[in-house]
Structure 1
Amino acid sequence: MIIVNTDFITGKEIETIQLVKGSIVFSKNVVRDIFAGLKTIIGGEIAGYSEATMIGADAIVNVRYSASSLMASAAEIIAYGTAVRFK
C-alpha cells in the first residue's frame, strides 16, 4: 500500500474510490493501555487500514493527521486520506 501526503503519485494515473480513516487513543494508564492493546487485537483501529485493502485500493493519497488531548493522560490521533486505484 502506497501512502503519500500529496494528491498525486508521480507516474501513476489514479481513480478516486473514497475517503478512508483510522484513529487511536493513547493513554498513560497501564490498565487502559492493556485494554487498548486488546481492542487492537480484536479488530479495534486496524479496520481503517483494512478498509482500503478491502475496497481494492492501491494507494492512499492526500493523507493528513490530527492529534488532540482528551484529558491529562490521554490523546487521540486521527489519520485520513483518499483511497485510490491505479488506472
Structure 2
Amino acid sequence: MLISNIEVVPGKRIVEHLGLVQGSTVRAKHAGKDIMAGLKNIFGGELSGYTELLQESRQEALERMGQQAEAIGANAVVNVRFATSAIAAGASEILAYGTAVKLEDR
C-alpha cells in the first residue's frame, strides 16, 4: 500500500477514486510517565515518553487507514493528513485520513 501526503504519485496515473479512508487511535501514558513529564516540565527538555507515544499512535493510525483502504480495493492512499484532539486528561486521539485510490499497474 503506497501512502503519500501529496495529491498525485509521480510517474503513476490514478485510475479510480474510492473515497475517504481513515484510521484513528486513542492513547494515554501511565501515571508514572505523567509524573516524570511533570518534573521535566519544571526543568525543561523533551518529553520523550510523549514523543514515543505520539509516534506509536501515528503509526497505528496509518496502519488502520491502510487496512481500510485495502478492504475497499485501493492500492494507494493520497493526500494523507493527521489530526489530533484531546479526549481526556492525559489521553489524545490521533486521526490519519486520506483519499483511497487505484493506481495504474504498469
Question: Hey, what does 1:60 align to over in structure 2?
Answer: 77
Q: Are the aligned partners of 2:65 and 2:96 in contact in 1 as well (CA < 8 Å)? A: no
Q: How many angstroms apart in 1 are the aligned matches of 2:100 and 2:66?
A: 10
**SS at structure 2 position matched to 1:83:** strand
- Distance in 2 (CA, whole Å) between partners of 1:28 and 1:12 is 41
Point out where structure 1 has 5 or more consecutive residues left out of the alignment: 31-44
Change (3 A) 1:19 1:67: same
Q: What is the percent sequence identity of the aligned residues?
A: 45
Aligned-residue offset at 1:49: 2.8
Tell me whether 1:16 sits opposite 2:33 in the alignment.
Answer: no
Is the radius of gyration larger for structure 1 or structure 2? 2
Aligned residues: 73
Larger relative strand fraction: 1
Q: TM-score, normalised by structure 1?
A: 0.74
- Show the counterpart of 2:37: none
Q: Between Structure 1 and Structure 2, which shows a larger proportion of helix residues?
A: 2
Shift of residue 48, structure 1, vs aligned partner: 3.8
State the distance in 2 between where 1:71 and 1:7 align.
33
Matches of 1:49 and 1:10, distance apart in 2: 20
SS of alignment partner, residue 76 of structure 1: strand
CA positional deviation for 1:47: 5.1
Matches within 5 A, 1:1-87: 1-14=1-14, 15-29=16-30, 48-87=65-104
**Structure 1 runs of 4+ with >6 Å offset:** none
